[in-house]
Amino acid sequence: MNKANKITMSRIILSLIIIILLLFPFHEVGVDFPTYLIKGRIVVDIKYIIAGVLFIIASLTDFFDGYVARKYNIVTDFGKMIDAISDKLLTNSVLIILSCEGKISPVVAVVIIMRDIVVDSIKMVVGNKGKAVAAIYLAKVKTATLMVGIVLTLFYNLPFEIIPIRVSDFLLAVAAILSIITGVKYYIMAKPFLTER
């Protein structure tokens, strides 16, 4: 368990805390998070703000674990595996929760999660053949767009909701479109390895 892997594990722990925070019926045990009324029409539940802050911290660890692993040359197969798992645990679980609560379109969650399943399966098959599919820059743009979109959703699209402009919905829609584009690109790049015997 090197430094990079410890950072990755902290992302998993933060992801679980976020999931519990968003799903646990606190009101049934007598715990009520304060709510605030902004501009007389935007009701903000502090629970989602806390979840948003934790999501930002967890997202930043996604950058730092890779940076530390490369800087100190401690890249491991375990690290690669746990990094991929922690990324999906963080983003996909929150997407599902927000979709179930009606805060985002279910289409966004389904498209992004389906793409992840397909791409991860392709990478696994190609990896089993001793090959590798190069990372796509556009996929990093997709991830950044997705994470900012999720954070804004958890923050009630503030401050843009005051105008109001649905920046959070726009970014999530862009992330879904980029998911499809990058998924197709990964398939095209991996096709020669997938079809060879």
Residues 87, 88, 94, CA angle at the centre, nearest 5°? 105
User: pLDDT tens track of the chain, all 197 residues?
Assistant: 789 899 999 999 999 999 999 999 999 999 999 999 998 899 999 999 999 999 999 999 988 888 888 888 888 888 888 988 999 999 999 999 999 999 999 999 999 999 999 999 998 888 888 888 888 899 999 999 999 999 999 999 999 999 999 999 999 999 999 999 999 999 999 998 887 76
Q: Sketch the domain layout of the chain as residue ranges.
A: 3-195
Residues 10, 86, 188, CA angle at the centre, nearest 5°? 150
CATH fold, domain 3-195, is Four Helix Bundle (Hemerythrin (Met), subunit A) (1.20.120)
Residue 119 to residue 174: CA distance in whole angstroms: 18
Cβ neighbourhood burial of 94 (10 Å; 0-12, 13-18, 19+): buried
